[in-house]
């Protein structure tokens, strides 16, 4: 039987995974990494040998791993981003690479809105206070009439803009170096330059890929362009935000609150930012819903089967 390596944590944890049944029905043997964890390069080098397909998660897929996969023909991510894959090496080796574009859009967008509300109303801080038997009230603010800045107007950014506009009556500014297609036609939406978005937004939400050079987008310089008391949300990529700069801005009260679901390395090393009372951290759960995982897995499996069946 031809083998397919399966590594997403949601699919290697114990329990039946009906999304994988089409692969078994197609005559493929499934090879799993250690359950429920993100595999390291050493484990991948051992497992990938002899596999014609690879249903991949968020682990780093290096040139060494791809070069060790002499039989690999198709790699299919059960997520949208491919920055964890050495795409140049994959192209050189003739390995077809797919992503599950759009599968986790709803999950990430809804988490973004949830984090926005949680920061604006200091929900974790209030809950922690009650848990300690205290009665500490923090005055929050309402979203209606506020300005939301969306950095990156792809699927997720577009949906967050729609929810914020229709659900909360927010004015929405968008920045994207590539004009969104189809155009966003919300009544209170405007595409603007990046600096203007920072200056006019009460909430800034990141929905863009990492910068090509790996540097941060939210730096001390850009924080100083923002409105005093801004809320910053990041559900895109951890490398976009300079944690030290954000911590300094929080302590100086330039930033009202910060919420992040993503980190430069995952799991992240400890950072003083994570224990700040006006910071909310979640362990990269944006697309970790029953619906998003099922959509992404089904799409990744479909890409694998279609590509493997159409090989010359």
Please give the positions annotated as active site: 237, 266, 284
d(CA 258, CA 263): 13
> Smallest Cα–Cα separation from 255: which of 280, 237, 286?
280
**Other C-beta atoms within 10 Å of 85: how many?**
22
Closest residue by Cα to residue 216 from 247, 249, 240: 240
Please give the structure tokens belonging to residue 50.
């002899």
Nearest alpha carbon to residue 226 among 148, 135, 130, 112: 148
Rg of the Cα trace of the chain?
Answer: 21
What's 85's DSSP letter?
B
Residue 275 φ then ψ, to 5°:
-100, 5
Instruction: Please report which residue ranges of 79-207 form alpha helices under DSSP H.
Output: 87-92, 105-120, 123-131, 155-168, 194-200
Please check whether residue 239 is in contact with residue 214, taking contact to mean a CB–CB distance below 8 angstroms: yes
Q: Report yes or no: 5 and 48 within 8 Å, Cβ to Cβ.
A: yes
How many helices, marked H, and strands, marked E, lie in the chain?
12, 12
Tally of residues, the chain: 312
70: which 2 tokens? 């002499």
CB-based contact 126:73 (threshold 8 Å): no
d(CA 277, CA 250): 10
Q: What is the DSSP string of 239-261?
A: GGB-HHHHHHHHHTTSEEEEEES
């Amino acid at each position: 039987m031809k083998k397919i390596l399966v590594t997403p944590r949601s699919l290697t944890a114990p329990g039946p995974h009906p999304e994988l049944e089409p692969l078994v029905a197609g005559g493929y043997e499934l090879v799993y990494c250690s359950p429920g964890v993100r595999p390291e390069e050493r484990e991948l080098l051992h497992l990938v040998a002899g596999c014609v397909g690879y249903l991949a998660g968020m682990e780093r897929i290096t040139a060494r791993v791809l070069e060790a996969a002499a039989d690999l023909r198709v790699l299919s991510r059960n997520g949208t981003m491919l920055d964890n894959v050495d795409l140049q090496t994959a192209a050189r080796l003739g390995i077809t690479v797919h992503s599950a574009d759009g599968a986790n859009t709803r999950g990430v967008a809804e988490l973004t809105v949830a984090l926005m509300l949680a920061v604006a109303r200091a929900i974790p801080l209030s809950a922690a206070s009650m848990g300690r038997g205290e009665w500490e009230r923090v005055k929050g603010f309402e979203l209606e009439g506020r300005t939301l800045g969306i950095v990156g107007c792809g699927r997720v950014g577009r949906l967050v803009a729609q929810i914020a506009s229709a659900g909360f009556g927010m004015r929405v500014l968008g920045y994207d170096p590539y004009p969104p297609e189809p155009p966003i036609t919300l009544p209170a939406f405007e595409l603007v330059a990046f600096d203007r978005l920072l200056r006019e937004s009460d909430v800034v939400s990141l929905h863009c890929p990492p910068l090509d050079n790996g540097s941060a987008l939210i730096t001390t310089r850009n924080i100083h362009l923002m409105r005093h008391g801004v809320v910053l949300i990041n559900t895109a990529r951890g490398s976009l935000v300079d944690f030290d700069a954000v911590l300094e801005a929080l302590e100086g009260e330039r930033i009202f609150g910060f919420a992040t679901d993503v980190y430069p390395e995952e799991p992240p090393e400890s950072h003083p930012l994570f224990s700040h009372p006006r910071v909310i951290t979640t362990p990269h759960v944006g697309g970790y819903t029953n619906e998003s995982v099922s959509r992404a897995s089904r799409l990744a499996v479909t890409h694998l089967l279609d590509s493997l069946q159409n090989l010359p």
